[in-house]
């Protein structure tokens, strides 16, 4: 038995919420290998926006994998459902008028392109291109070491695929730049887009 969906025309619409926020809602989508710096960068970019008086939210493994998506594993089907749900939730946050930062490995090109189709020019794809060897050396979570000990670890870049974006809005390799420099670089590229007509 499928649910019955009817559309209310609610008096407050996404445009009104965005106007109240005073800036465009944008979806800033960070993709890259584990250890590339996605989540750290997203957090510091959020702080930079926050300091500017803008309204933000950050979605990453911390608040999604432990809550909404705690029923999902690492199979390809579950990874796809993980990103599907995150995309839907990100869409709600855009409707709420927020600058929404998402930091997920999101290894599959097809699922990221689906987000681009869904959100149009509100979708900014940020490929954190830090190479696998550097991510391996950092290994902040010990996951690469673990994947070397355990075959079939589903570790992206080791025994699970990563399909790099072909035309991301922004590319950033964190190997030789400080966190502050990376954050400033991102801020300077994104800030002008926030002020354009919605």
- Active-site positions read 106
Query: Half-sphere exposure of 103 toward its Cβ, with a 13 Å CA cutoff?
Result: 21
Structure tokens at 138: 């950092």
Does position 137 interact with its own copies (CB under 8 A)? The reply is no
Q: Which residue from 197, 49, 30, 194 is spatially nearest to 115, judged by alpha carbons?
A: 30
- Please tell me whether residue 114 binds its own copies under the rule CB under 8 A: no
d(CA 179, CA 190): 17
- The yes or no reply on residue 197 touching its own copies (CB under 8 A) is no
Candidates 29, 30, 93, 162: give the one binding its own copies (CB under 8 A). Answer: 93
Of 15, 76, 88, 164, the residue at the interface with its own copies (CB under 8 A) is 88
Q: Which residues contact 122 (CB under 8 A, 6 or more apart)?
A: 24, 25, 26, 27, 94
Helix, coil or strand: residue 30: strand
E strand or H helix at 85, and its extent?
Answer: helix 76-95
Q: How far is the CB of 192 from its own copies (least distance, A)?
A: 22
16 near its own copies, judged by CB under 8 A: yes
Site membership for its own copies, residue 138 (CB under 8 A):
no
Query: Site for its own copies (CB under 8 A): how many residues?
Result: 55
Name which of residues 43 to 82 contact its own copies (CB under 8 A).
Answer: 43-44, 46-47, 50, 53, 55-63, 65-68, 72-75
Strands 170-172, 123-128: pairing is parallel
Judged by the rule CB under 8 A, the positions of this chain that interact with its own copies are: 1-8, 10-12, 16-17, 20-21, 39-40, 43-44, 46-47, 50, 53, 55-63, 65-68, 72-75, 85, 88-89, 91-93, 95-98, 141, 143, 152-154
């Amino acid at each position: 038995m499928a649910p019955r969906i009817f559309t209310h025309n609610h008096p407050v619409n996404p445009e009104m919420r965005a106007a109240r926020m005073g800036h465009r809602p944008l979806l800033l989508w960070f993709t890259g290998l584990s250890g590339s710096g996605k989540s750290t960068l997203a957090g510091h970019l959020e702080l930079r926006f926050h300091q500017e008086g803008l309204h933000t939210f950050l979605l990453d493994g911390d608040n999604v994998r432990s809550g909404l998506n705690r029923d999902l594993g690492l199979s390809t089907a579950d990874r796809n459902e993980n990103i599907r749900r995150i995309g839907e939730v990100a869409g709600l946050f855009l409707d709420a008028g927020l600058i929404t930062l998402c930091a997920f490995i999101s290894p599959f090109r097809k699922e990221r392109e689906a987000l681009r189709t869904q959100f149009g020019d509100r979708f900014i794809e940020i490929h954190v291109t830090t190479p696998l060897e550097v991510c391996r050396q950092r290994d902040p979570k010990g996951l690469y070491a673990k994947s070397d000990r355990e075959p079939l670890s589903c570790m992206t870049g080791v025994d699970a695929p990563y399909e790099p974006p072909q035309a991301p809005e922004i590319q950033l390799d964190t190997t030789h730049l400080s966190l502050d420099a990376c954050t400033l670089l991102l801020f300077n590229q994104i800030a002008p887009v926030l002020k354009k007509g919605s």
